[in-house]
Homo-oligomer: A and B are copies of this chain.
Amino acid sequence: MDHCSTCVVRNRAICSALEMDEISLLGKMGRHHKLVAGQTLIWEGEDSLLVANVIDGILKLSTSLSDGREQIVGVVYPSDFIGRPFGTRTQHNVTALTDAHVCTFSSSDFDRFAQSHPELEHKLLERTLAELDRTRRWLLLLGRMTASEKLAHFLLDMSQRLVRPDCANDGPVDGFDLPFGRQQIADILGLTIETVSRRLNDFKVQGLIAVPSRRRIEILDRDGLEGIAEAA
């Protein structure tokens, strides 16, 4: 597969510290993949050592127990990295939630490139530290919050994340389309579909949100929601 010019261009955002010809070098090493919604890129326990860069679309990282209980452990957006460089196997499934484009690298190619480009490693470190912080806040949510608090947090978080990429990014939006079905929301928050549905309905009744269609959410009373989400 030839190198993909989209990857080359998009990698610019991530490798902004590198000069142009090095960016295209990285781009040439990558392979471009189209994923359809629901398609899994990496399986938990699979031994393909793969690293990727999301060009477009939204993906989930998930792990599950043998009896089918599933927990989503991360949601990945355009320009984010996927996978585990430096010789360790990826620990979770990576599945596209929407149609998506990714640029994959063999872990060893990427490692070699990264080792000789400290600026890239630095960026990666900053991102990883930020992701770790986000994941730790998520622990608080899963371990100590009620269903309503979880959902309020989730909706407020989504309103900040799901800004349309084509528009100027100026803060949270009050109406957005979730890339998740109810089951996935449940798997993010450690709840069941039914509880998600009921608490969402509570919010509707209380006039905090409107749900004009299955996946569409409109926040009507942001302060009210924040009141439920409470203090950090």
Contact = CB atoms under 8 A, between A and B. Distances in A.
A110 B198 CA distance: 49
Interface in A26-84: 61, 63-67, 69-71, 73-74, 84
Nearest to A61: B136
A129 B65 contact: no
A91 interface: yes
Interface string A85-105: 110100110000000000000
Given A132-B128, A230-B66, A139 B140 contact: no
Q: How many copies does the complex hold?
A: 2
A192 to B, nearest CB: 11
A90 to B, nearest CB: 9
A129 B110 CA distance: 15
Contacts of A143: 71, 142, 187, 189-190
A129 B231 CA distance: 28
A128 B139 CA distance: 17
Contact of A142 (B92, B131, B190, B232): B190
A126 B70 contact: no
A232 B64 CA distance: 7
A121 interface: yes
Contacts of A145: 65
A145 B66 CA distance: 12
A207 B224 CA distance: 50
Q: Which 8 A-B pairs have the closest CB atoms?
A: A143-B190, A66-B231, A118-B118, A142-B142, A73-B136, A71-B140, A69-B144, A71-B143
20 contacts: A61-B136, A63-B140, A64-B140, A65-B140, A66-B231, A67-B230, A71-B139, A71-B143, A71-B144, A73-B137, A86-B126, A88-B130, A91-B136, A121-B121, A132-B135, A135-B139, A139-B142, A142-B142, A142-B143, A143-B187
